[in-house]
Structure formats: structure tokens, C-alpha cells
């Protein structure tokens, strides 16, 4: 059977990246909206109504129409090509390694550990694209005089290196790695655990229904667990340096400032578009990944029979 076909580690990395890129192209508008809502929260002059999802959505459409939801798409694709290729490929490789010769899935603690390692590694690789993505998706929200006007992710990276120094590519890297540790422990480990539990329940077979149920569970858990650190990461990566002093000194400081200036529950500001983005992205990524992996196994199995 094709299920017995082992996928090489290199192919796992490629399959993970392809699945994440396809999912990102579909949900990119929700990512843009989520970033705009998170940044609107720090505008003390704006009313609560002006910070709402409905108001921001209408403003974006009024500004540029549908195209307002697609700035930074090239950065989003590059981010997945670096970050998700690394994290998904590494997680699946480590998952297979820790399963042993009998292919028994590792325990929950091991899943959490390899998910954290995979996420942190992927974040370190993908931070430059992440910085470009945050800036490009939030540029239209800045005053005209402060807009950077990047034309593509490569233009953004080149200008950042030239104007601010190449080290700026990794601005907020620690915050990004912290978020990635939380996201991947919640997302990857919960997906594997949910899939295992649902299969063992006897109500599911290993098919697209199982993949959908497991990824929806993973998406909900990931949303609640990761949004506060995602907000901190977004604020840090989009902050300005005023008289040589950064707005935030780190993740904890950024979260503390949000609580102090905007209220505790603003740590979950934009949870609806965040879940609307991370839920479908999680579902699509895992469904595409499972289908790509199965297609690879089938192709290899059938080739061996010839």
C-alpha cells in the first residue's frame, strides 16, 4: 500500500512549503485586515468604532478597492517559502524520527518539544520576510509622509538593508521566535494529537474529513494561545525609533504596554479576523499537505509496481 511508502526528508520540506504557500495566497486578505486592526489599537486619537473590523474594512475598500487587501502578497509568499517550509519539513522529519521503527506516534510532550524546535528554527529563517510583510501590509495605514512605499518584498528587503542596516531584517526576531514557539506547539502538536485521538475514537477514517476536523481543532487552540504574542510581534516589527529609543524593548514590554494603554482584553484585539485567517490557513495547510503527501506516496508506490 502507498501508506507504507516513506517520504524523504527533503520532500517533506518541499511539500510543507508548497501547502503553506497555496493556503497563504487564499487567506492573505484576512492577514492584511488582522494587521491593520492590531496597529489601529495603538492610535489613541481614534474612537473604538474606528478600530472595529467593519470600519477598517470599509476604509480599506474606500482607499483602494479590492487591491487594498493584497499589499505584501510577495512577502507573504516568501515568508511561507522560508518559515513554513522549515517548520513543517522539520516537524514531519522529527515526528518520523521520534516515532521509532514501529511507527508508533510520539507522546504529547515529545510532540510539543519537536513542534517548538521546528517553530523557533523556522522563525529565525523567516523573520526577514516577516518584517517586510508587516511593513507592506500596514503601510497604507501610516500618514502619507511616513509611508515607505515598498514595491515588492525584494525592494523592501533591499531598502531596509540600505536605509536601516541589514540587522533590521531580524528586528523582532526574539518576539517572532517566541510567537512561533507558542503557535507551533499549539498548532502542530494539537493537530497531531487531535488526529490521533479522532482516529482512535473509531468514528473517523484517515481521510479528508479527519484532516478537516483535526485542523479545525488545531486552529481554535492556536488562535487563543498565540494572539497576544502575535500582537506584540506586530507592534515591535512596525515600531519606529524615536530619538534613538525604540517604542518597545521586547515582547513582554509590548504586551504590558498594550494592557496598560488599551486594556487586558486588547491582547486578543482582532481575534475574529485572526481566527478567520489562522483557522482557514491551518485547515488549508494541513489538508493540502496531507493530499500532497498522499499523492507523492501513491506516485512512488505505483512507480515501484511498474
Q: Is the pLDDT of residue 3 over 60?
A: no
**279 pLDDT tier (thresholds 50, 70, 90):** confident
Counting residues of the chain whose pLDDT is more than 90, the rounded percentage is 38
Query: Is the model more confident about 293 or about 28?
Result: 293
Give the per-residue pLDDT at 252.
Answer: 86
Cα atoms in the 13 Å half-sphere on the side-chain side of 204: 17
Q: How confident is the model at residue 43 (pLDDT cuts 50, 70, 90)?
A: low
Q: Are 181 and 119 in contact (CB under 8 A)?
A: yes
Predicted confidence (pLDDT) per residue in 49-103, tens digit: 677 778 888 888 887 788 888 877 888 899 899 999 999 999 999 999 998 777 7
> What are the backbone dihedrals phi and psi of residue 245, each rounded to the nearest 5 degrees, phi first?
-115, 125
Pick the CATH number of 2-305 from 1.50.40.10, 3.10.129.10, 2.60.40.420, 2.10.10.90: 1.50.40.10
Mind spelling out the 3-state secondary structure of the chain?
CHHHCCCCHHHHHHHHHHHHHHHHHHHHHHHHHHHHHHHHCCCCCCCCHHHCHHHHHHHHHHHHHHHHHCCCHHHHHHHHHHHHHHHHHHHHHHHHHHHCCCCCCCCHHHHHHHHHHHHHHHHHHHHHHHHHHHHHHHHHHCCHHHCCCCCCHHHHHHHHHHHHCHHHHHCCHHHHHHHHHHHHHHHHHHHHHHHHHHHHHCCCCCCHHHHHHHHHHHHHHHHHHHHHHHHHHHHHHHCCEECCEECCCCHHHHHHHHHHHHCHHHHHCCHHHHHHHHHHHHHHHHHHHHHHHHHHHHHHHHHHHC
Find, among 128, 117, 56, the residue nearest to 89 by Cα. 117
Residue 1: band (very low, low, confident or very high) from pLDDT cuts 50, 70, 90: very low
Is the pLDDT score of 28 beyond 80?
Answer: yes
Interval 257-282 mean pLDDT: 85
- How far is it, in rounded angstroms, from Cα 192 to Cα 286? 10
Would the pLDDT of 27 be above 80? Answer: yes
* pLDDT tier, 122 (very low <50, low <70, confident <90, very high otherwise): very high
The percent of residues in the chain predicted with pLDDT above 70, rounded, is 93
Bridge partners for 87 per DSSP: none
pLDDT of residue 158: 94
Residue predicted with more confidence, 184 or 141: 184
Q: Quote the distance between the C-alpha of residue 160 and its chain's center.
A: 22
Q: What is the pLDDT of residue 214?
A: 95
pLDDT band at 266 (very low <50, low <70, confident <90, very high): confident
Grid cell digits, residue 83: 518559515
**Confidence band for 304, pLDDT divided at 50, 70 and 90:** low
Mean of the per-residue pLDDT values of the chain:
86
230 compared with 218, residue with greater pLDDT: 218
Cell digits of residue 241:
525609533
**Each residue's pLDDT tens digit, 175-222:** 789 888 988 999 999 999 999 999 999 899 989 999 999 999 999 999
Report residue 5's pLDDT band, with 50, 70 and 90 as the boundaries: low
Domain ranges across the chain: 2-305
Q: Which of 140, 101, 169 is nearest to 148 (CA)?
A: 140
Amino acid at each position: 500500500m502507498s501508506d507504507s511508502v516513506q517520504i524523504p526528508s527533503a520532500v517533506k520540506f518541499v511539500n510543507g512549503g508548497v501547502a503553506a504557500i497555496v493556503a497563504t495566497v487564499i487567506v492573505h486578505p484576512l492577514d492584511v485586515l488582522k494587521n491593520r486592526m492590531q496597529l489601529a489599537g495603538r492610535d489613541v486619537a481614534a474612537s473604538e468604532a474606528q478600530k472595529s473590523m467593519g470600519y477598517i474594512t470599509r476604509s480599506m475598500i474606500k482607499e483602494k478597492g479590492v487591491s487594498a487587501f493584497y499589499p505584501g502578497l510577495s512577502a507573504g509568499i516568501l515568508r511561507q517559502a522560508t518559515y513554513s517550509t522549515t517548520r513543517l519539513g522539520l516537524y514531519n522529519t522529527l515526528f518520523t524520527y521520534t516515532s521509532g521503527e514501529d511507527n508508533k506516534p510520539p507522546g504529547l510532550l515529545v510532540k510539543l518539544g519537536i513542534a517548538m524546535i521546528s517553530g523557533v528554527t523556522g522563525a529565525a529563517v523567516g523573520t526577514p520576510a516577516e518584517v517586510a510583510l508587516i511593513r507592506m501590509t500596514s503601510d497604507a495605514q501610516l500618514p502619507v509622509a511616513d509611508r515607505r512605499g515598498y514595491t515588492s518584498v525584494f525592494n523592501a528587503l533591499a531598502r531596509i538593508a540600505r536605509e536601516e542596516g541589514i540587522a533590521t531584517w531580524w528586528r523582532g526576531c526574539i518576539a517572532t521566535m517566541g510567537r512561533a514557539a507558542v503557535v507551533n506547539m499549539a498548532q502542530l502538536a494539537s493537530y497531531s494529537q487531535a488526529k490521533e485521538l479522532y482516529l482512535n475514537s473509531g468514528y473517523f477514517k484517515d481521510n479528508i474529513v479527519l484532516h478537516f476536523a483535526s485542523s479545525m481543532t488545531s486552529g481554535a487552540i492556536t488562535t487563543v494561545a498565540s494572539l497576544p504574542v502575535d500582537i506584540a510581534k506586530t507592534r515591535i516589527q512596525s515600531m519606529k525609533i524615536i530619538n534613538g529609543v525604540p517604542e518597545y524593548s521586547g515582547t513582554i514590554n509590548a504586551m504590558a504596554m498594550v494592557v496598560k494603554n488599551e486594556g487586558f482584553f486588547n491582547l486578543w484585539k482582532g481575534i475574529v479576523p485572526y481566527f478567520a485567517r489562522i483557522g482557514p490557513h491551518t485547515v488549508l495547510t494541513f489538508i493540502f499537505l496531507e493530499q500532497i503527501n498522499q499523492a507523492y506516496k501513491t506516485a512512488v508506490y505505483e512507480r515501484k509496481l511498474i
